[in-house]
Chain A
Amino acid sequence: MSRISSKLLRLKQAGRKALIPFITAGDPHPEFTVPALHALVEAGADIIELGVPFSDPMADGPVIQKASERALAHKMSLRKVLELVREFRQTDTETPVVLMGYLNPVEAMGYPVFTDKAKEAGVDGVLTVDMPPEESEEFIALLTAVDIDPIFLLAPNSSAERIAKMGRLGRGYLYYVSLKGVTGASHLDLADVERKIGEIRSLTDLPIGVGFGVKNAEMAAAVSRLGDGVVVGSALVGKIEAAGENTDQALDEMTAMLRSMRAAMDA
């Protein structure tokens, strides 16, 4: 069983939900990332989603677009993201790390090379936003062969047929995009989320992480009652943007937010 699956199983047995923060690797600069990941774990993160910056982040709103631009300005790249994961793993062998990004950097590296390097670095899951299962048979096979979980997105308009397909091909968890829009959007409707998650549960046994639009502790708690995990990205990344050069402030605000979410979810 993968590190992600066993973590989610332990949480389930304990009656808790996973808190899954997202930050972009290398934002605002590469030295910030590994200490930030440790601090997020300290503040209550169960699984880390680490964004791989890309020049053309089509599915992201302005907050994560700018995070990508800041990271790329410091020459962050997929190779360097893997080095950061390796560094994180030197002192944390427990917390699953999911790489989240776009396909082209992986294509440029080559699927087999990426898969080997990711495994070696200690990556547990890969979520590629613009890679639907129809286009990724070869990549899925390579990932699962080395026990890296391919994680797929589900959307409010995903058909039953597609949900079932992702349920068959996905590992670890499914990421339910709670609204039609880009990351950081602000019109999440809990009743809609609840209805769709009911449908997803009837079609697959994989755990469900819910993300896009979770902004504060109250929303995290509400969403956590519906799914198995809550992904929080833009709200955290926005703290990095707001703090500018003052990365200590960014770290304080991010961990404070995560702690408040953790407390609200566990209450």
Chain B
Amino acid sequence: MQNSTEHYHQPDERGHFGPYGGRFVAETLMLPLQELDEAYQRYMKDPDFLAELDRDLKHYVGRPSPVYHAERLSRELGGAQIFLKREDLNHTGAHKVNNTVGQALLAKRMGKTRIIAETGAGQHGVATATVAARLGLECVVFMGSVDVARQAPNVLRMKLLGATVVPVEAASKTLKDAMNEAMRDWVTNVDNTFYIIGTVAGPHPYPAMVRDFQAVIGREAKLQMSELTGRLPDALIACVGGGSNAIGLFHPFIDDHDVLMVGVEAAGDGIATGRHSAPLSAGRPGVLHGNRTYLMEDEDGEIIETHSISAGLDYPGVGPEHAWLKDCGRAQYVSITDDEAMTGFHTLTRLEGIIPALESSHAIAYAMKLAPTLPSDRNILVNLSGRGDKDINTIANREGITL
């Protein structure tokens, strides 16, 4: 892996992206986080480790993932050309596996025998259970009980892979509560356990480490777009829950200032209703899950319940690097409602024969807004972060279809 940016150097050595990030955890986790940081720093410079990672990404994950020119969609919209980075074609069906392969190799090198993870949509849980099965490691996945119900196919996949899925009943019973429970497990079993966080949030070094494992998306895309179009794309679009697929695409382009970067949050029923998951659009800075970032909270600093049709975006925080990219203006953050995402979902499915995840459908929906405002010689690259098979129950329920 090469250092992908020349001028942009975030975070600092204590994990701060400007005022965001950091390491806000109870004392018992300070030593394990320090050990993890040391191992990560060391192995990211270790040629053997990097060679093993590259091999796994190629032969196990199926990388590089293609970039596909969605010509019919582009023609229909009548503006900029839309290209899709096909992370949905990865093994396990989403970008999440890029990171779990990396962290699992790290866990093995650190001598850990037990893997834990949190999951929302279940994609990260499946990607974690997958690599744990392959490496013969015990795997426990924490998942909010609301998400267990709405992502039943992924729950079964995790169990088939040998993982224990623990439904979390606390508070809103979604991703944030799963993350709390995973932290509680880690603090209890810290000696033999490696916590694979699935997004670019959490205490340092997770936001930087997960970003570095996901940056393979943007590095490939840069080369692929140059091959296909002879230049860099004019705009990048990716959905943002915690923000791992977005940062993975954006990061190698940060110093290419002509490339517009747009993160798409979940507006749920609409920002004005308060029922959404869009902290960058409508939240304010605070501290949760080990880092300072934008949060959805009430005036007393209690975290409020979020809503999105897509479980993977249903999270009240966001990775601290996105908070920083927003404040310094390098990336823009917009939001897309459940209804708009559904329109994006159906449009891509019908016009291109690609069924996108509901998370990724938010990025598609924003591309459908942006493309018509641009001339046809402009190129937009959308990160198609996952496939939609896992969402068929949600869609059937919403549209009154009995399976």
Interface residues of A (CB under 8 A from B): 54-61, 65, 69, 72, 77-79, 102-109, 129-132, 134-135, 152-159, 162, 177, 180-182, 185
Contacts and interface: CB of A to CB of B under 8 A. Distances in A.
Contact of A185 (B188, B287, B290, B301): B188
Interface string B24-66: 1111101110000000000000000000000000000000000
A158 B30 contact: yes
Contact of B28 (A60, A69, A156): A156
B23 A135 contact: yes
A103 B24 contact: yes
B180 A108 contact: no
A57 B176 CA distance: 11
A107 B286 contact: yes
Contacts of A106: 301
Contacts of A154: 27
Given A134-B14, A158-B31, A185-B188, A104 B26 contact: no
A95 B253 CA distance: 58
B301 to A, nearest CB: 3
A33 to B, nearest CB: 17
A229 B77 CA distance: 70
Given A56-B303, A78-B300, A157 B22 contact: no
Nearest to B22: A135
A155 B32 CA distance: 12
B176 A56 contact: yes
A125 B30 CA distance: 22
Q: How large is the interface on B (under 10, 10 to 19, 20 to 34, 35 or more residues)?
A: 35 or more
B298 to A, nearest CB: 8
A78 B301 CA distance: 9
Contacts of B290: 130
Given A104-B288, A135-B22, A55 B27 contact: no
A153 B290 CA distance: 16
Given A108-B297, A180-B188, A180-B190, A55 B302 contact: yes
7 contacts: A58-B289, A60-B184, A104-B302, A107-B285, A108-B300, A162-B30, A180-B191
Contacts of A153: 26-28
B295 interface: yes
A77 B24 contact: no
Contacts of B177: 56
A129 B180 CA distance: 14
Contact of B302 (A77, A152, A177, A182): A77
A103 B287 CA distance: 7
Most chain A CB within 10 A, of B171, B289, B301, is at B301
Contacts of A130: 24-26, 287, 290
Most chain B CB within 10 A, of A55, A79, A104, A154, is at A55
B6 interface: no
Contacts of B303: 55-56, 104
Contacts of A155: 26-28, 30-31
Contacts of A180: 28, 187-191
A109 B171 contact: no
Interface string B345-368: 000000000000000000000000
Most chain A CB within 10 A, of B24, B285, B295, is at B24
A57 B288 CA distance: 10
Given A65-B170, A157-B31, A180-B187, A58 B26 contact: yes
Nearest to A157: B31
Interface of B: 14, 22-28, 30-32, 170-171, 176-177, 180, 183-184, 187-191, 285-290, 292, 295, 297, 299-304
Most chain B CB within 10 A, of A135, A159, A177, is at A135
B184 A59 contact: yes
A105 B300 contact: yes
B292 to A, nearest CB: 8
Given A55-B171, A59-B187, A180-B188, A107 B301 contact: yes
Contacts of B295: 104
A104 B170 contact: no
Contacts of A78: 300-301
A152 B27 CA distance: 9
Contacts of B289: 56, 58
A105 B288 CA distance: 10
Given A103-B287, A135-B24, A158-B30, A54 B187 contact: no
Nearest to B28: A155
Given A78-B300, A135-B23, A159 B170 contact: no
Given A77-B300, A107-B301, A108-B286, A132 B24 contact: yes
B301 A104 contact: yes
A182 B27 CA distance: 11
A132 B23 contact: yes
Nearest to B299: A108
Given A104-B303, A108-B286, 15 more contacts: A56-B180, A58-B25, A59-B26, A61-B184, A104-B286, A105-B300, A105-B301, A105-B302, A107-B286, A153-B27, A155-B28, A155-B31, A157-B31, A158-B27, A181-B187
Nearest to A105: B301
A107 B187 contact: no
A185 to B, nearest CB: 7
B43 to A, nearest CB: 22
Contacts of A60: 184
Contacts of B23: 132, 134-135
A160 to B, nearest CB: 12
Nearest to B284: A108
A149 B298 CA distance: 28
A78 B299 CA distance: 10
B198 to A, nearest CB: 17
Contacts of B180: 56-58
A69 B302 CA distance: 11
Contacts of A177: 26-28
A55 B191 CA distance: 28
Most chain B CB within 10 A, of A69, A102, A130, A177, is at A130
